[in-house]
Structure 1
Amino acid sequence: MKEFGFVLPYVVRVADINYGGHVSNAAVLNYFQDARIAFLAALGPYSELDIGAGCGLIMPESHVRYHAEMFLGDVLQIGVRTDKIGRSSFDLAYRIERQGELTAEGTTPLVAFDYTARKPRRLPPTFRQALED
């Protein structure tokens, strides 16, 4: 987890479990969102709805790769790091571990978005600098 500068601890809840007895696909995306929200707050503070200059963030897609099942009560570490910063977008990479074992990983591309104008925008310079730092 050392290549991830931000780590959020998380304990698997009963609401995260599906009929198969393990963490559901939807719960893993929620883990990514919880970690993303905490990561953004630690950067600035920023949020998904406010990265400055009247912009928020919108996610056009997400990617998840599962490596091991996760179960009720598991103590997880969710790592987040910035990847591929562009003019109006960037990627966040995620890694979920249980006691050092990789359980899931993924990425979410995020685009600076003006919710009032309903259009993508360039990343605000102060936010971009926070991502690069």
Structure 2
Amino acid sequence: MARIKIELPARFAFSTEVPIHIGLINYGHHLDNAALLSLVSEARVRFFKSLGYTELDVDGVGIVVADAAVQYKSEAFHGEILVFEMAPDDFNKYGCDLVWRATDKASGREVARGKTGIIFFDYQQRKAAPVPAGFVAKTAPQA
């Protein structure tokens, strides 16, 4: 089976720090793989908040997660602080990928990288909605 390879953008639009607490550690004494996705979700919520949005209101529509891919690079441990960087990429009519990287704050060691595919969603009509122009304007790469 071919391994997943996530290409990172040249620049990340957002960064946030999330500590690893004991509840995120598994029997191998490192960050649990399911817990990592929970931390990515926290970083995503913070990303939208930094733009003045919530996941339920991005210029009048919400988002849903369509898919997720993770490429693990190293272990992470209790007490470490992970720096999550995130940037939207690969836009289509209804969504985009949120590409992210997680590194240990103290050492700079890359822990994981990935992407989360999101679709904008009209929760009242229960159907996909076009990407809001305001979101594109706020997240477009700077020339």
Q: Same fold by TM-score, threshold 0.5 exceeded?
A: yes
Provide the residue aligned with 2:41 in structure 1.
33
Answering whether residue 107 of structure 2 is matched by residue 107 of structure 1, we say: no
Q: TM-score, normalised by structure 2?
A: 0.86
Shift of 1:88: 1.2
Provide the residue aligned with 1:46 in structure 2.
53
RMSD over aligned CA atoms reads: 1.6
Check conservation: 2:70, 2:114, Cα contact below 8 A.
yes
Aligned residues: 131
Structure 1 runs (4+) greater than 2 angstroms displaced: none
Provide the residue aligned with 1:4 in structure 2.
12
Provide the residue aligned with 2:74 in structure 1.
68
Shift of 1:7: 1.0
Which amino acid in the other structure matches residue 13 of structure 1?
A: H
Q: TM-score, normalised by structure 1?
A: 0.92
Identify which of 82, 90, 94 aligns with 2:96.
90
Shift of 1:3: 2.4
- Please give the alpha-carbon distance, in whole angstroms, between the structure 2 residues aligned to 1:36 and 1:103: 17
- Please give the alpha-carbon distance, in whole angstroms, between the structure 1 residues aligned to 2:139 and 2:62: 14
- Please give the alpha-carbon distance, in whole angstroms, between the structure 2 residues aligned to 1:115 and 1:18: 36
- Please give the alpha-carbon distance, in whole angstroms, between the structure 2 residues aligned to 1:3 and 1:102: 16
Shift of 1:132: 1.4
Residue by residue, what CA displacement relative to the aligned partner does 1:58-102 show, whole Å, maximum 9, x if unpaired? 011100111101110012111111111222101101100112111
The 5 A counterparts of 1:120-131 are 120-131=128-139
- Please give the alpha-carbon distance, in whole angstroms, between the structure 1 residues aligned to 2:134 and 2:81: 34
- Please give the alpha-carbon distance, in whole angstroms, between the structure 2 residues aligned to 1:64 and 1:14: 22
- Please give the alpha-carbon distance, in whole angstroms, between the structure 2 residues aligned to 1:52 and 1:103: 33
Shift of 1:126: 1.3
Unaligned runs of 5+ in 2: 1-7
- Please give the alpha-carbon distance, in whole angstroms, between the structure 2 residues aligned to 1:131 and 1:89: 13
Check conservation: 2:14, 2:85, Cα contact below 8 A.
yes
Q: What percentage of residue pairs aligned between the two structures are identical?
A: 31
Check conservation: 2:103, 2:109, Cα contact below 8 A.
yes
